[in-house]
A and B are shown apart, each in its own frame.
Chain A
Amino acid sequence: MSEYALELDGLSKDFGGKPAVRNVSWRARKGDITGFLGPNGAGKTTTLRMALGVITPDSGTARLFGRAPDAAGMDQVGFLPEERGVYRKMKAEDVIVFFARLKGVPAGEARRRAHVLLERFGLADAAKKKVKELSKGMAQKVQIISAIVHEPDFIILDEPFSGLDPVNQQLLEDIIREQAEAGRTVLFSTHVMEHAERLCDRIVLMARGEKVFDGSVEEAIGRVPRQVVLAAPPGEPMAETLAPFGALETLEEREAETVWRLTLKAGADAQAVLRALVEAGVKLTRFEPRRPHLHDAFVALVGEENVGDVTDREPVSEA
């Protein structure tokens, strides 16, 4: 029995001679929440399709639960694709039951689970409504329920937060955590680093069809130099005092003070910087060590020119 829900080894795929994915290898450990991140065109969807056996790789192998993707393995996967929709003329409850039954859940049980999940997602009143009568956010929740109703061991969500309002984004985050706590493996892609940073045990970063990082969130953030934002009245000996600690750049010059940003060298410590400034008699008006975020790590790892649509925070969507 493999300890991984998904193992990818050297996956490559070309479309019309154009490489979409190149030699990608990584693993999703059972019970982990893994973030699969990258800008548009990075090769995420193609990698996921190969992982699920929807398309065949040109080279490399994908293993689901330790074996090649097959029907039995697929039944244990709940997949929410990025390009998604549901039958608009069907009732919300019927859509969920249909997809549950496709995954092998008996009809009666599927209906019972649909009721429970619709209640959990605040859609109990919409159960008998046709999908075309629901708002975009409600329809998206129906799609998410359809992906998890069969209680899969492995949940793959491609951009699950897009289209949801902040309240429902929070609800989905809670659901993802609950699923992981129940021992399920969760893999999700997002272009909003905030969600990944809060949720993921580990992340896999893709850019230009290649894997550029694979590790924990802390490890990713650890790749980014830490920074300190400082302010002091003009004429203070800032440059001389801070030169040993890293690179200093002026952010803003005002009449009463100047604002600087110090990017710390490897091994430098913000406390040592503060101590040096106090000892030098600098009259500090601001001292603000900045904790880097996953977005900074992402920019550092894939390069500013490849960031694309990846953002720090999700723009607020209408439900």
Chain B
Amino acid sequence: MRASYLIARREYLSYIATWGFWLSILAVPVFAAIGGALPGLIQNSQPTRYFAVIDETGRGLDQVVEQGLEAQRREAVRDQLEGMVEVMRGEAAAQEVLAVFDQDPDGVSYLDEAVEAAGLGEAGAALGSERRERVMVDPPARDMAQLRPYLTGERMIETPAGERALFAALILRNAPGAPVAIEYHSTNVTSDSVKNAVRDILRSHFREQAFMERGLSPADLNAVMAISPDVIEIDARPGAEAGAEITRADRAPFIVAIAFAFVLWLAVFSVANMLLTSLVEEKGGKIIELLLSTARFHEILIGKLAGVAGVSVTLFAIWGAVGGGLALLGGAVLAGMNPAIAELLASLFDPGLILAAMFFFTAGYLMYGAIFLAMGSLCDTLQDAQTLMGPVIWTLLLPMFFLVFSFEATDSVLLRAASWFPLWTPFLMMARLPTEPPLWELAGASGLMIVTTVLVVWGAAAVFRQGALRQADADSVRRFFRLKKKGA
């Protein structure tokens, strides 16, 4: 025990007392934030697409496009306003604010009043002022020969932001059998956003026209277009109150469980890697021989697993403290404005989920940690280790694909079957927990996982013993599988 404790302590301090550890702690939320914001960042970092529409039909379709763009912009601002007020003030307040905004049914002239009514202050002031994705400009020329230099960037168009290249030119022509033909010119062959936006606007326009030609007034048309079923989601799960509607708080455990599964995976992957690199360093640096003269194999194995487990507990404690603190602090503020937020945040602290996460992390960590330790004991260099890591990395990566789809398909037979595979159980069963899988499934898969954990640790200890004494190495594994192949 003494040796295991001292080895664990040394292992723990060797990580905790480094700048790298603290930087990595900081890096995870930073990278998570970047990852979360990445789609938005990519979208926002796209340059504004300036395009021109040349209407050869004489039916004023260029103006239709321009008005359609404005309407789209109005809808976007309205959606943002609604979302913001709903989170901060609740659904009823959002409807009141939208009533103010909708006093101008075609534009955003009541935006300031709506923002003031919502009491959004600074946060609301930015609404509607953000950069536009697409801007329609007057065509600098009417035929393609003259337009081409603008599209290739040889000539520039004047915009409020300065001189810019023309992203696309759309020529609208009459066509037999179709309301209009759109000829789209651009040097960018992958981006469809301008083409699709113009096509959608014109399609809506021609459909409205068709309806009106068939005798519908604009008011009728609006009324028809507004027809939509009213969906009420009732929670029919056992134990739910009769007629209780499904709220965001009801969905939160599913999201939280999947998030926990991702965090478990991330933690197992990073700390198991720590074990591998630490052992390769000790083996390559001939330290393992000196350790073997002072401690038994199992003491070294337990010490290393415990030391790195301590590192992961520290990671969780810091992330938990910071995340929990922020959630409590932010939650308290938001809950004052919208009680639904408090319910949502409460699901983060579900003791059942936290206990399950601890159980699955322990099993996952022991299985993968022991495997990585065994691999490390066979290798003198990280290059050696990389050749052995491939199959384990793939085994560890596959449950990620299941996790990505698990929210929409929690009842998938494939997901249920995959969660029985002991090396995946910690992540997939964690994600399935809020669906309340049958007890026999939970107990069976967990039992199988525990048995596998014991077998893996036992096998890893045997490999570790051979590797540490240099009686086996990375080549032994290759020879073993070659023999198996020949035998087969």
Contacts and interface: CB of A to CB of B under 8 A. Distances in A.
Interface of A: 15, 49, 52, 54-55, 71, 74, 77, 79-90, 98-99, 101-104, 143, 146-147
Contact of B290 (A15, A84, A90, A104): A84
A15 B471 contact: yes
Nearest to B285: A85
Given A74-B294, A102-B3, A102-B295, A84 B471 contact: no
Contact of A102 (B6, B282, B469): B6
Contacts of A79: 290, 293-294
Contacts of A55: 469
Interface residues of B, number: 20
Contacts, number: 62
Contacts of A74: 293-294
B401 to A, nearest CB: 38
Given A49-B469, A83-B286, A87-B287, A54 B292 contact: yes
Contacts of A52: 293
Nearest to B287: A85
Nearest to B471: A15
Contacts of B287: 84-87
Contacts of B294: 74, 79, 99, 102-103
B290 A99 contact: yes
A284 B292 CA distance: 61
Shortest 6 CB-CB distances between A and B: which pairs? A85-B286, A79-B293, A85-B285, A81-B289, A102-B294, A83-B286
A87 B294 CA distance: 15
B207 interface: no
Nearest to A143: B290
9 contacts: A54-B469, A79-B290, A80-B290, A81-B289, A81-B292, A85-B287, A101-B2, A102-B3, A143-B290
Contact of A101 (B6, B286, B289, B292): B6
A101 B7 CA distance: 10
A295 B139 CA distance: 100
Interface in B1-15: 2-3, 6-7, 10, 14
Contacts of B293: 52, 54, 74, 77, 79-81, 147
Interface string B275-309: 00000001001110110111110000000000000
B2 A102 contact: yes
Given A81-B293, A87-B287, A103-B294, A98 B469 contact: no
B289 A83 contact: yes
Nearest to A104: B2
Nearest to A131: B285
Contacts of B14: 87, 89-90
A88 B290 CA distance: 14
Given A15-B471, A104-B2, A88 B292 contact: no
Contacts of A87: 10, 14, 285, 287
A250 B171 CA distance: 111
Nearest to A156: B293
Contacts of B470: 83
Nearest to A89: B14
